[in-house]
């Protein structure tokens, strides 16, 4: 097959990136039908708090951190798709404060529609990102599928006492977000062929920027909790943090970093269907939105692929957290809000 006759990668998928995720309210119903897994003393973190990865203690000073993540193409360039998917999967290990050690590739490709060269480029992009994170791809599994799918099983290690959960936020903590919002809007614009070169460059730069501040943040005493913002949007993942800690959060919309290019696209009517689903899922958690307009709601629930870390820390240590982000190239990290006494919920000012 000649590569020039191949369809665009994004045209082969009904959704792209973390926008493919099942809506959180539907996922909760599905998982609610399953029996509760028995507790194991060594299993320090399981699915009960909707955390980023599972954590299993194997010795007094070592725990294995394990996760998996995969999705359909968010971009048409195969090498970029591979890099983005791998960076996104590794983020869940980094969001627990763990050091990645190796990974396994998950590959589903429509054989006959994509050339060997294209598929190889997807895998090469994934390998590049994995090796940059110190988690070389040691194997994997592949199938012939209707839609192109790529991702990783990612494994890391951490000290059991230094794992950063999403459930450990404390009253008075400030919230720091590591990357701007708007990746879902970029991906919607790309599908409609409305994304310019500058917007594409912003999108790829953000989604391939590893969340490497994570393992370093565990050594800041005032850092209490952490998660990453992906397919459920900022409000969706913050709501998980609030439920897990039984606390409320207040977000200042004007303090939330947003890609200005994405803001402009949204103003012109470009957005994903997932933002509406995410809003519907998180709306019961919102005690007040202080008159947010539709565009603002769409930004706060825009599905982020390989999004930023969301850190809950003491106000005194916020500057150290921001400095750590800056050292790792996360120049847009910002304090966006604060945790307060429950009940679990979110106020957007």
CB-based contacts of 254, cutoff 8 Å, min separation 6: none
CB-based contacts of 161, cutoff 8 Å, min separation 6: none
Question: How far is Cα 52 from Cα 65, in angstroms, rounded to an integer?
Answer: 10
For residues 204 and 76, the answer to whether their CB atoms sit within 8 Å is no
Strand ranges in 117-172 using DSSP code E only, listed in sequence order? 137-144, 149-158
Half-sphere exposure of 87 (CA within 13 A, CB side): 29
- Annotated active-site residue 18? The verdict is yes
CA distance readout (Å), 312 to 28, 46, 220: 24, 20, 12
Q: Which of 18, 20, 242, 313 is labelled catalytic?
A: 18
Q: How far is CA 315 from the centre of its chain?
A: 24
Catalytic residue IDs: 18
């Amino acid at each position: 097959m000649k590569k020039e006759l191949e369809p665009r990668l994004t045209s082969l998928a009904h959704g792209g990136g973390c926008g493919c995720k099942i809506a959180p309210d539907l996922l909760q119903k599905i998982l609610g039908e399953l029996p509760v897994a028995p507790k194991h003393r060594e299993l320090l973190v399981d699915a009960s708090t909707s955390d980023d990865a599972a954590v299993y203690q194997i010795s007094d000073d070592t725990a294995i951190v394990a996760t998996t993540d995969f999705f359909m193409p968010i971009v048409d360039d195969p090498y970029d798709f591979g890099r983005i998917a791998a960076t996104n999967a590794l983020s869940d290990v980094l969001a627990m404060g763990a050091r990645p050690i190796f990974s396994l590739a998950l590959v589903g490709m429509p054989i006959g529609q994509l050339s060997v060269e294209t598929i190889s480029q997807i895998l090469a992009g994934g390998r590049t990102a994995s090796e940059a994170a110190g988690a070389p791809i040691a194997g994997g599994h592949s199938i012939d599928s209707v839609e192109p799918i790529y991702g990783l099983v990612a494994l890391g290690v951490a000290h059991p006492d230094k794992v950063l959960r999403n459930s450990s936020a404390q009253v008075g903590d400030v919230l720091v977000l590591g990357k701007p919002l708007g990746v879902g809007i970029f991906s919607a614009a790309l599908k409609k062929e409305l994304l310019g070169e500058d917007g594409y460059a912003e999108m790829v730069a953000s989604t391939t920027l590893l969340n490497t501040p994570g393992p370093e943040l565990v050594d800041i005493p005032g850092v209490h909790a952490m998660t990453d913002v992906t397919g459920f949007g900022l409000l969706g993942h913050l709501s998980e943090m609030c439920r897990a800690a039984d606390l409320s959060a207040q977000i200042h919309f004007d303090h939330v970093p947003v890609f200005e290019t994405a803001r402009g696209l949204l103003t012109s009517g470009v957005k994903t269907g997932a933002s509406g689903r995410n809003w519907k899922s998180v709306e019961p958690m919102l005690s007040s939105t202080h008159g947010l307009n539709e565009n603002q709601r769409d930004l706060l629930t825009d599905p982020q692929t390989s999004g930023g870390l969301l850190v809950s820390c003491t106000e005194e240590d916020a500057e150290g957290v921001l400095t750590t982000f800056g050292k790792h190239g996360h120049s847009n990290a910002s304090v966006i809000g604060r945790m307060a006494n429950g009940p679990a919920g979110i106020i957007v000012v």
